[in-house]
Amino acid sequence: MAGYARVVGHTLHRFDDLKSLMACASPRRSGDELAGIAAETDERRIAARLVLADLPLVTFLNDALIPYEEDEVTRLILDTHDAPAFRKVAHMTVGDFRDWLLSYEADTAALTALAPGLTPEMVAAVSKLMRNQDLIAVAAKCSVITRFRTTIGLPGRLSSRLQPNHPTDDTAGVAASLLDGLLYGIGDAVIGINPATDNVPAYIALLELLETVRLKFSLPVQSCVLAHVTTSIQAIERGAPVDLVFQSIAGTEKANKGFGVTLSLLREAEQAALSLKRGEIGNNVMYFETGQGAALSAGAHHGVDQQTVETRAYAVARAFNPLLVNTVVGFIGPEYLYDAKQITRAGLEDHFCAKLLGVPMGVDVCYTNHAEADQDDMDVLMTLLATAGVNFLIAVPGADDVMLNYQSLSYHDVLGLRHLLGKPPAPEFEAWLENAGWLDDQRRLPPWKAGSRVVKNLLEQAV
């Protein structure tokens, strides 16, 4: 494939190949600069976007950024591409595609029908031509609904993951954070624990704690211990009550190897979880986490920019009908996303790209203490994402994860967003709150009074 070029003013900007063009068109971020593939000047970045806007979408079917022969994710993307679904936009350039996505014609039904016809590279390309507001407006028109014991992703709703992590997996300590979250009505997407140590006995102990609380209070929730997929498979073989199987994934075969997984191992895990038949209203049994920079940090990005590689991870996710996927957007650190501006942009890109591909996307709105960001910045991103229709957000006690040593959202934040925007949790979970008598006449979950009988009973009963 010959390169691309564009004259802007008196300068001729040349791009050696498609992946170089994509990298130069990407909004500025430290990870692409670290990889040495970012545009050196702002003008060159816009020159790349001008070329990209004129590029036919079909180019991405004929010019694989990572060769088909070398990478099983590329093979997955091209082998499962739905040509009839693609026909609607097959004649368009990337620029035309942006205009069409923003048009009234591209409504929820049209976007849902189109999803299987899109490849990650097409979606990543069009995102590079979109402002934050465009990413929000189009994502808000997408609908990806999944089910296990609750229904997640319905329009006008906002679900949440309750993340009761503890630095030594102490069951009483985990229970404390779990019960605290329930009192804010958090957890309708999943109650999910990151274990401090990845081993089968610890995994089963945590899972049994979650199962005990779920059954005791008849909670319509699903639980998950976020260990390596092989740990989950072993736990299933030992008869553990596994609802969802978790795995971190990335957008290249080599990066997934860095996580210790292949597509066939993920297929084996999905089959193992399905065999338990624990879903009550649906059978979405997988939970994936992703994040820009994962492939580069494993030395497995093949010279492709981090936003495009991230989008390829969503092709991996959608092959396994997940209940939940989320980007851990600010977790990776300043060498990939330097500051709040880059974290915000990446969070909106990841959500938009996943939704357009038909992936049930949530976001861990978060940052680390070595990044240039703070809780004010998280307030902005969570509000943007809730407006964009994000499937779920993650929350921990007081926004402080004492196991993973980073800051996410507080239970307060998600509850406040639900009330501010009038977005209740999943209907099954909302019905539980209503039947419990926890909602006021405006359907809010008000603060508990000092010495509340409910709080007292919950804390004394649970463990």
Partner 1 sequence: MNELLRPSSVLDDSTNDDAAPDLWARFRQTTRARIGLGRSGDSLPTQALLDFQLAHARARDAVHSQADFVRIAADLQPLETIEVTSAAPDRATYLRRPDLGRRLAPKSHDRLKHGNWDICFVIADGLSAAAVDAHAAALVHATLPYLGGWQVAPVVLARQGRVALGDDIAERLGARLVALLVGERPGLSAADSLGVYITWEPKVGRQDSERNCISNIHGAGLSVAAGADKLGWLLNQAARLQLTGVNLKENAPALCAPEPAREPD
- 5/47 Cα distance (integer angstroms): 8
* From 135, 415, 424, 425, residue interacting with partner 1 (rule: CB under 8 A): 415
Question: Measured from the CB atom, is 51 or 396 closer to partner 1?
Answer: 396
* Cα–Cα nearest to 378, from 361, 391, 360, 395: 395
- 236/309 Cα distance (integer angstroms): 31
- 302/253 Cα distance (integer angstroms): 11
Query: Which residues neighbour 182 within 8 Å (Cβ) at sequence distance 6 or greater?
Result: 162, 217, 219, 458
- 241/233 Cα distance (integer angstroms): 12
Question: Which residues are paired to 5 by β-bridges?
Answer: 14
What residue type is 228 in one-letter code? H
Residue with tokens 């010959």: 2
* From 124, 144, 175, 384, residue interacting with partner 1 (rule: CB under 8 A): 175
Q: Contact between 435 and partner 1 (CB under 8 A)? A: yes
* From 8, 12, 109, 402, residue interacting with partner 1 (rule: CB under 8 A): 402
Question: Measured from the CB atom, is 202 or 276 closer to partner 1?
Answer: 202
Question: Which residues are paired to 160 by β-bridges?
Answer: 393
- 306/30 Cα distance (integer angstroms): 10
* From 333, 347, 358, 360, residue interacting with partner 1 (rule: CB under 8 A): 333
**What tokens were used for 81?**
């591409």
Q: Contact between 369 and partner 1 (CB under 8 A)? A: yes
* From 170, 238, 275, 281, residue interacting with partner 1 (rule: CB under 8 A): 170
Q: How far is the CB of 134 from partner 1 (least distance, A)?
A: 29
Residue 391: other Cβ atoms inside 10 A = 29
Q: Contact between 449 and partner 1 (CB under 8 A)? A: yes
* Cα–Cα nearest to 273, from 282, 354, 250, 429: 282
Q: For partner 1, what does the binding mask look like between residues 183 and 222, x meaning CB under 8 A?
A: -------------xxxxxxx-------------xxx----
Q: For partner 1, what does the binding mask look like between residues 33 and 72, x meaning CB under 8 A?
A: -x--------------------------------------
Q: Which stretch binds partner 1 (CB under 8 A): 53-61, 148-156, 308-316, 402-410?
A: 402-410
Question: Measured from the CB atom, is 87 or 238 closer to partner 1?
Answer: 238
Q: Contact between 30 and partner 1 (CB under 8 A)? A: yes
Question: Measured from the CB atom, is 88 or 412 closer to partner 1?
Answer: 412
Q: How far is the CB of 223 from partner 1 (least distance, A)?
A: 18
Question: Which residues are paired to 392 by β-bridges?
Answer: 159
